[in-house]
Amino acid sequence: MHVALKCFATLSRFTPPDAEAFAVAPGETAGGLAERLGIPMADLKLVFVNGEHVELTAQLKDGDRVGLFPAVGGG
C-alpha cells in the first residue's frame, strides 16, 4: 500500500525521495509513519489526511494524501 506524503516547512528535510508513492504497512498510523521518518514528536503539530485534520492514531489507507506540519509562528 502507498500514500502520497508531504512534509512542510521545517519538517521538509524528512521528506523521503519516494514521497509520491511512499510504502506503508496495512494498519500503519499517521504517528507511526512520522516516527518511521525520524520526525521528533515534539516537532510535529498537525497531521492532515486527504485534506482533513486527523489524530496521530489515524490509520492510513492505500492512496491517502498525508501532510505533516510543524508548529509555525509568524508576525
Look at residue 75 and tell me whether its pLDDT is greater than 60.
Answer: no
Burial per residue of 24-54, b for 16 or more beta-carbon CB atoms within 10 angstroms, e otherwise: beeebbbbbbbeebebeeeebeebbbeeeeb
**Is 75 within a domain?**
no
**How confident is the model at residue 72, as a pLDDT?**
75
**How confident is the model at residue 5, as a pLDDT?**
97
**Is 46 within a domain?**
yes
**How confident is the model at residue 71, as a pLDDT?**
84
**Is 64 within a domain?**
yes
Quick one: pLDDT band at residue 73, thresholds 50, 70, 90?
A: low
Domain CATH code at residue 34 = 3.10.20.30
- The domain in which residue 8 lies consists of 2-70
Question: In this predicted model, what pLDDT tens digit does every residue of 12-44 receive, in sequence order?
Answer: 999 999 999 999 999 999 999 999 999 999 999
Domain count, the chain: 1
Which of the pair, 71 or 47, is modelled with greater confidence? 47
Calculate the average pLDDT of the chain.
95
